[in-house]
A and B are shown apart, each in its own frame.
Chain A
Amino acid sequence: MLNDITLGQYFPGNSLLHRLDPRMKLTLTMLFIVLVFIPRNWISLCGAVVLLAVTVALSRLPIKLLWRSVKPILLIVAFTAVLQIFYVTGGTVLVQLGPVKITTQGLNNAAFIAVRIACLVMGSSLLTYTTTPTALTDAIEYMLAPLKVLRVNAHEIAMMMTIALRFIPTLVEETGKIMSAQKARGADMESGGLIQRVKALVPIIIPLFVSSFRRAYDLAMAMECRCYQGGEGRTRMKKLCSAPRDWIALAVYLLVLAVLIALNVRFGSVLN
């Protein structure tokens, strides 16, 4: 059960999207999130969908993979949509059951929001599919660097992320071992009510905690042995470098943003 945890979800490839600078990909993803929330009418939303479709095509990722990213949140999409159907009033009443009304406006809103969330998830999962965790960490370190004025140490945040990523599989493996060890001593983890099951986790979490402190101590020593003194005076082997394609991508996204706003103004809002 613990073996299917994948570290990040990077899908190796060499598409245009894979080769974009991770910093730009991060920026574009944030821009895309804005883009998805801007449309107020279907034509404008279509613009965002087309942009997503083009980006997906450029990533050369198998469609199945993207479907997999949307699948876990289908329930949330459905739930939000249903809420919209019942709560939004206006338009023609289609069905009425006592106080509950289903209106055309409600259906319209539900569909709109479902499409919006699906786009949002697909768009942001593109980032993690096409960027390695390390590249992403480097990008975050770079982009947080200006926060130095607020005494935020971007290097330390990035180092913590790297170490966390590095140790997730190790700790997962260890959890499995501890579980087997406790089962061998007669621990029962599969039966009983909720409270009992939570209680059964205690003998797993405590040894895991203790051992992660020991690991932390060892790692700190190993890092000191290798002359680690924090971000000051440190260089990087792999430098991030931006190419013209990054700026072209940004220009395209900004253009789409302008177009969507224009479409909003021209066609008005269909949402209530």
Chain B
Amino acid sequence: MLSVEQVHFHYDSDTPQVVPHAVLQGVDLEVKKGSFVALLGHNGCGKSTLAKHFNALLLPSGGRVLVDGLDTAAAENTYPVRRMVGMVLQNPDNQLVSTIVEEDVAFGPENLGLPPETIRERVDEALRAVDMWEYRDHSPHKLSGGQKQRIAIAGVLAMHPDCIVLDEPTAMLDPRGRREVLDTVCRLNREQGMTVVLITHYMEEAAMADRVVVMDEGKVLTDGTPQVVFANGDLLRSVGLDVPQPTALCAALRARGVDLPSDILTPEECAAALLERMKK
């Protein structure tokens, strides 16, 4: 689906004397159709920059990005790529265009030049998919952050993308809003087979994915299932990240000689493993 091959990127500098800072330094990544990939990394590691390469917002300075076989660098591919790869940004307030929810969701399909009846169908379908259909004639500024972010997801869904890239969609939300957005994203991935790339700061969110990619200094540091990646707590901590709390708890107990598995990610798994251990 998404294929990143040896991508380098640096912003053009205004003064020739200054060597431009390389944001991406040879990233290789392959995202398969229907997978749920979490992209982790501390601030400035290049994960947002990488995300902007997925839908041709930025073009690589070296290497190439292919979306379903289309090279993002070719001008004629820009809009097909943007239709295929939908993007949800961090601030829910700054990505809604219209004063009415359903008209905002219609914005994307309208840009694609679809006939009105098709747009209507897609808008209704997208709003139902994010569970916001009852709010279709509300005005976005009266909704909560989580609801606004779900509207933004609906706006992307209405374009019938093959993949959704979410750039820290929960960073500005309260815990309840985060829950709503993540549930929606997980449901889209599991029930509709939507390819999801989730960029996040929260280890608990990354644990929900079926693959975690950790970035540091413009490169991919580790890549694997959450169980494998989070088992290596020291490496993560060395680049300013952490492991989910249940994983950390189990690791601490293991260090004290309690026999617990190393692939614990969620509180539920942790509780079950502890219970199992105590029964012995």
Interface residues of A (CB under 8 A from B): 7, 132-134, 162-163, 165-166, 169-170, 173, 214-215, 218-219, 221-229, 233-239
Contacts and interface: CB of A to CB of B under 8 A. Distances in A.
Nearest to A226: B108
Contacts of A133: 99
Interface string B75-119: 000010011001101010111111110110011111111111001
B141 interface: yes
A226 B141 contact: no
B140 interface: yes
Given A236-B110, A237-B106, A7 B139 contact: yes
A237 B113 contact: no
Interface string B51-75: 0000101000000000000000000
B153 to A, nearest CB: 12
Nearest to A218: B94
B196 interface: no
A228 B95 CA distance: 13
Contacts of A224: 57, 82
Contact of B89 (A169, A170, A221): A221
Given A218-B91, A225-B87, A134 B111 contact: no
Contacts of B98: 134, 162, 166
A170 B152 CA distance: 16
A235 B96 contact: no
18 contacts: A162-B98, A165-B99, A166-B140, A166-B141, A169-B139, A170-B93, A218-B89, A221-B57, A225-B86, A225-B87, A226-B155, A227-B112, A227-B159, A234-B111, A234-B113, A237-B102, A237-B106, A237-B116
Contacts of B119: 235-237
A170 to B, nearest CB: 5
Say whether chain A's binding surface is mostly helix, strand, loop, or mixed: helix
Nearest to A225: B87
A226 B120 contact: no
Interface of B: 55, 57, 79, 82-83, 86-87, 89, 91, 93-100, 102-103, 106-116, 119-120, 123, 139-141, 152, 155-156, 159
Given A162-B97, A163-B97, A225 B116 contact: no
B99 A236 contact: no
A236 B112 CA distance: 10
B110 to A, nearest CB: 5
A238 B104 CA distance: 12
A226 B123 CA distance: 14
Contacts of B95: 218-219, 222
Given A163-B97, A218-B94, A239-B116, A225 B123 contact: no
Nearest to A219: B94
A43 B79 CA distance: 63
Given A218-B89, A237-B110, 14 more contacts: A133-B99, A134-B100, A166-B140, A166-B141, A214-B94, A218-B91, A222-B89, A222-B97, A224-B82, A234-B110, A234-B113, A236-B119, A237-B103, A237-B119
A215 B159 CA distance: 23
Nearest to B119: A237
Contact of B107 (A134, A226, A239): A226
A239 B118 CA distance: 13
Nearest to B85: A225
A209 B77 CA distance: 36
Contacts of B102: 237
Contacts of A215: 91, 93-94
A225 B55 contact: yes
Contacts of B109: 237
A215 B93 CA distance: 8
Nearest to B109: A237
A132 B103 CA distance: 13
B93 A134 contact: no
Q: Counting chain B CB atoms within 10 Å of each CB, which of A134, A233, A236, A238 scores highest?
A: A238
Given A219-B95, A221-B57, A227 B82 contact: yes
A178 B119 CA distance: 39
B136 to A, nearest CB: 11
A165 to B, nearest CB: 5
A227 B79 contact: yes
B108 A227 contact: yes
Contacts of B99: 7, 133-134, 162, 165-166
Contacts of B123: 237
Contact of B97 (A219, A229, A235): A219
A235 B141 contact: no
